[in-house]
Amino acid sequence: MIQNVKLDFKNSGIEEKEFMQYADEVAEAHDELHKKSKSKTEFLGWLEWPTKYDKKELEKIKKSAKKIQEDSEILLVIGIGGSYLGARAVIEALTHTFYNYLPQDKRKSPQILYVGNNLSPNYINDLIDLIGNKDLSINVISKSGTTTEPAIAFRIFRELLENKYGIKEARKRIYVTTDKKEGALKQIADEEDYTTFVIPANIGGRYSVLSPVGLLPIAVAGLDIEKLLEGAKFAEEKYSDKNLKYNDCYKYAIIRNLLYKDKKHIEILVSYEPKLHYLIEWWKQLFGESEGKDGKGIYPTGAEFTTDLHSLGQYIQEGRRNLFETVINIKESATDIKIKTDEDNLDELNYLVNKGLDEVNKKAMEGTIEAHVEGGVPNMLITMDKLNEYNLGHLIYFFEKACAMSGTLLGVNPFNQPGVEKYKANMFKLLGKPEKKKVAEKAKKQIKSSKEGKRVKEPKEKKEEKEKEKKVAKRKPTKGKHEK
Ligand code: PA5
């Protein structure tokens, strides 16, 4: 079988005979996950998604991506957590490191900017400055459709878009990715007749990057979303073997659990490629939200080497011994730089002449793994042949399935996130948000009446259109409203 993503656990301190004792438990958890995935009410829709995704929706995504590429200099992705991290992870991994800074003729597709993932007025005001007069489209992504951060950002940037283009044209530049039936965002999208993409009900936010959540922005960035799905499909087949002996994905899951039992409570995901910064962020959310509950779970964190060897390196080498590392190694760098000779050799680097910088990076990796393992930090190494759509689709699926298995073995529900609600409840109380019950009742009524064919508002009615245009005309300029 092709090994385009490979796990090496020889430095984990856990031997095969040790983890193979858990083979039955793993096989049982596998059966449970696959059985549950047949039910529409479990959050396991992602498990068979690479083979079963909606092909029509994919065509619609490609068509919209093309339109955005043609009429926009910027795509603004509005979303938080699972509603933006996956797209950003793939885009940043597979495009030019300085993609957004490149001139448009070199970039060939719109700049991709992100908002709605924090509540900083400075961030939003600075973004408005950056956007300036450029042509813009928005992809607002929220499964619940009620998350505060993206909802506020959408209100601000929808207004900006309507002021710039007028309501009619703005409608053609707003793309909504949300639940098929429920949520405030769905309701707005229906009223305004925005192009809408569906987040399958049985796919949770952090497992949704291969659904329209990730695919539309990724396609706008000029990447091949079919290759991404093909790689994930390959992984779906490869990791469908419940026999632990032949399943690297499950090996990663069980070894993590055994290290956790051995008081290694922190996992650092490490990369030597800055392009993987957001993949690490995506992974942190995936594992953090999936496993950190009921007083249990490995704390997932990330590091970028060699950069962080000059900040975190000291702690990793000699601090508390409650850590382990998982390193993502890209075997073949897309580009390289040969180190040239220098007559004076004052920097004493001539011993590197004719070596590629990638080789230096790899030696740094090998040397660091050796040092950290000797220092008491177990290591797992995940090697990808190359950084491309196919392999990244594979790696994404690898981590998703490993996470589901790992959480199941840990005895938690890897698909909920009850802890995320706590800060929201406090914040809403402090802000004086009206009670949820009343809002929910109102929303229910509206959904019911829209189902009965009595739309809450008729969006295309000329009269209403005029009213709205009038309202927009009266609005203060956006800049004045969100003054610094
Ligand atoms: O994994 C999850 O479900 C969460 O992290 C969500 O992605 C995040 O909270 C955003 O939620 P929503 O898409 O409903 O706005």
E strand or H helix at 318: helix 313-318
Any domain includes 167? yes
Any domain includes 466? no
Task: Tell whether 170 and 277 lie within a shared domain.
Answer: no
**Given the structure tokens 């009343």, which residue do they identify?**
438
Any domain includes 459? no
Ligand 1, pocket residues at CB < 6 Å: 80-83, 142-144, 147, 150, 204-206, 289, 417, 420
Any domain includes 420? no
Any domain includes 462? no
Any domain includes 372? yes
Domain boundary among 410, 425, 458: 410
Task: Tell whether 139 and 77 lie within a shared domain.
Answer: yes
Contact 15, 236 (CB under 8 A): no
More confident residue, 422 or 453: 422
Query: Ligand 1 center to residue 435 CA distance, Å?
Result: 21
Helices 389-410 and 85-94: crossing angle, nearest 10°? 140
pLDDT at 477: 44
User: Which atom of ligand 1 is nearest to 141's Cα?
Assistant: 13
pLDDT level of residue 41 (50, 70, 90 thresholds): confident
SS3 162: helix
Structural domain harbouring 316: 5-36+230-410
Tens digit of each residue's pLDDT (9 = 90 or more) over 380-391: 999 999 999 999
Token pair, residue 45, equals 């829709």
Alpha-carbon span 245 to 253, nearest angstrom: 13
- Degrees, nearest 5: CA angle 386-388-393: 110
Task: Tell whether 245 and 370 lie within a shared domain.
Answer: yes
Task: Tell whether 287 and 169 lie within a shared domain.
Answer: no
Ligand 1, atom 8, residue with closest C-alpha? 81
pLDDT at 456: 37
User: Which atom of ligand 1 is nearest to 147's Cα?
Assistant: 15
Any domain includes 461? no
Percent of the chain predicted with pLDDT > 70: 89
Give the mutation target among 144, 182, 416 for probing the ligand 1 site: most ligand atoms within 8 A of CB.
144
Does the pLDDT of residue 452 top 50, yes or no? no
Strands 136-142 and 195-199: unpaired
Whole-model pTM: value is: 0.91
Task: Tell whether 115 and 73 lie within a shared domain.
Answer: yes
Task: Tell whether 260 and 389 lie within a shared domain.
Answer: yes
Which of 363, 360, 351, 356 shows the shortest CA–CA distance to 339? 356
Q: Which residues are the active-site residues? A: 289, 310, 424
Contacts of 111 (CB under 8 A, 6+ apart): 73, 74, 75, 99, 100, 134
pLDDT at 480: 43
pLDDT at 470: 60
Contact 80, 150 (CB under 8 A): yes
Q: What is the mean pLDDT of residues 20-31?
A: 98
pLDDT at 421: 86
Any domain includes 416? no
Give the mutation target among 43, 78, 83, 154 for probing the ligand 1 site: most ligand atoms within 8 A of CB.
83
User: Which atom of ligand 1 is nearest to 149's Cα?
Assistant: 15
Task: Tell whether 210 and 101 lie within a shared domain.
Answer: yes
Query: Ligand 1 center to residue 308 CA distance, Å?
Result: 29
Task: Tell whether 291 and 370 lie within a shared domain.
Answer: yes
E strand or H helix at 438: helix 436-451
Task: Tell whether 71 and 99 lie within a shared domain.
Answer: yes
CATH number, domain containing residue 294: 3.40.50.10490
pLDDT at 27: 98
Does the pLDDT of residue 458 top 50, yes or no? no
**How many domains are contained in the chain?**
2
How many whole angstroms from its chain centre is CA 2? 26
Query: Ligand 1 center to residue 142 CA distance, Å?
Result: 7
Contact 394, 231 (CB under 8 A): yes
Task: Tell whether 242 and 303 lie within a shared domain.
Answer: yes
pLDDT at 439: 56
Task: Tell whether 180 and 314 lie within a shared domain.
Answer: no
Task: Tell whether 67 and 123 lie within a shared domain.
Answer: yes
Domain boundary among 410, 439, 459: 410
